[in-house]
């Protein structure tokens, strides 16, 4: 009787030349070419710095890494060029570092990655799809693996004040752009329901009104201010952006 050869894992489908769809065809590679006048410029700068600190502290360079919903793959390219075994996936972008695909149907085998990042992704999904995305992340993440989420917080400090005194939500973006916007604690409940253990929480930009007003008006001058604020003991749920470091418990 002839033995069948073992099934090989599907190989990533990568493109030598970038393929841009959706917002990347309209706006270009705006994460690669940052505009200091972009309102979220200092938040993005601080998020990338904090991600780098966590990846190195957790020694994530030792295993397979996925950046799910990675956009232009700025971080994927950065770490790949440092010799890390990393790949990105995004439904609106493909390149030599990024495979086209959806976070709700990841094109990778089970238990494949040691570390997964999903940075500013979940808020772009409808509520019903957020659970699907988390289950897919859990499927392709190895037991004991690390997952980093970053999410805008619908209940940041200035947002709460506006709701209290004016009866209106101060959304992190338009409903069409962030249909899955949630307060921080709802994201925590989602992660725990999906089976992830939250190890650390880090806030970026506590939106105390005078600070919020300055940053929104002068984003290009604000990265150092946000770096300073990250060191102060503000409650995490006062922050505009929250970064969660989670792990998938061992089976």
Domains of the chain: 38-247 (3.40.50.150)
Q: What is the pLDDT of residue 10?
A: 58
Average pLDDT over residues 232-242: 97
Per-residue pLDDT tens for 182-208?
999 999 999 999 999 999 999 999 999
Q: What is the pLDDT of residue 8?
A: 53
Q: What is the pLDDT of residue 14?
A: 79
Query: What kind and span of H or E run contains 67?
Result: strand 64-68
Average pLDDT over residues 157-185: 92
Q: What is the pLDDT of residue 25?
A: 82
C-alpha to C-alpha distances, 77 to 34, 42, 85, 193, nearest whole angstrom: 16, 21, 11, 32
Q: What is the pLDDT of residue 11?
A: 66
With b meaning 16 or more CB within 10 Å and e meaning fewer, what string describes 154-180?
bbbbbbbeeeeeeeeebebeeeeebeb
Q: What is the pLDDT of residue 117?
A: 98
Q: What is the pLDDT of residue 32?
A: 87
Average pLDDT over residues 78-94: 94
Per-residue pLDDT tens for 5-17?
444 565 677 777 7
Assess contact for 127 and 154: CB atoms under 8 A.
Answer: no
pTM of the model: 0.91
Assess contact for 42 and 225: CB atoms under 8 A.
Answer: yes
Per-residue pLDDT tens for 18-50?
788 888 888 878 888 899 999 999 999 999 999
Cα 65 from Cα 76, distance rounded (Å): 9
Q: What percent of the chain has pLDDT over 90?
A: 80
With b meaning 16 or more CB within 10 Å and e meaning fewer, what string describes 214-239?
ebeeebeebbebbeebbeeebebbbb
């Amino acid at each position: 009787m002839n033995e069948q050869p073992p099934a090989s894992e599907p190989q990533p489908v990568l493109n030598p030349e970038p393929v841009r769809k959706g917002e990347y065809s309209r706006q270009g590679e705006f994460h690669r070419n940052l505009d200091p006048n972009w309102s979220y410029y200092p938040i993005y700068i601080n998020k990338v710095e904090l991600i780098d600190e966590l990846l190195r502290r957790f020694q994530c360079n030792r295993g397979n890494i996925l950046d799910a919903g990675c956009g232009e793959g700025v971080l994927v390219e950065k770490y790949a060029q440092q010799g890390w075994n990393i790949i990105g996936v995004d439904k609106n972008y493909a390149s030599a570092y990024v495979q086209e695909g959806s976070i709700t149907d990841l094109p990778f085998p089970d238990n494949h990655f040691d570390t997964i990042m999903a940075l500013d992704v979940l808020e772009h999904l409808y509520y019903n799809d957020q659970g699907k995305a988390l289950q897919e992340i859990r499927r392709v993440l190895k037991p004991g693996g690390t997952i980093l989420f970053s999410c805008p917080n619908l209940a940041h400090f200035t947002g709460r004040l506006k709701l209290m005194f004016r009866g209106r939500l101060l959304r992190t973006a338009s409903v069409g752009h962030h249909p899955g916007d949630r307060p921080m604690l709802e994201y925590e409940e989602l992660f725990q329901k999906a089976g992830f253990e939250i190890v650390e929480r880090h806030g970026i930009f506590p939106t105390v009104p005078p600070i919020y007003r300055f940053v929104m008006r002068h984003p290009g001058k604000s990265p150092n201010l946000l770096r300073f604020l990250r060191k102060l003991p503000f409650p995490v749920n006062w922050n505009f952006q929250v970064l969660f470091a989670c792990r998938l418990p061992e089976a």
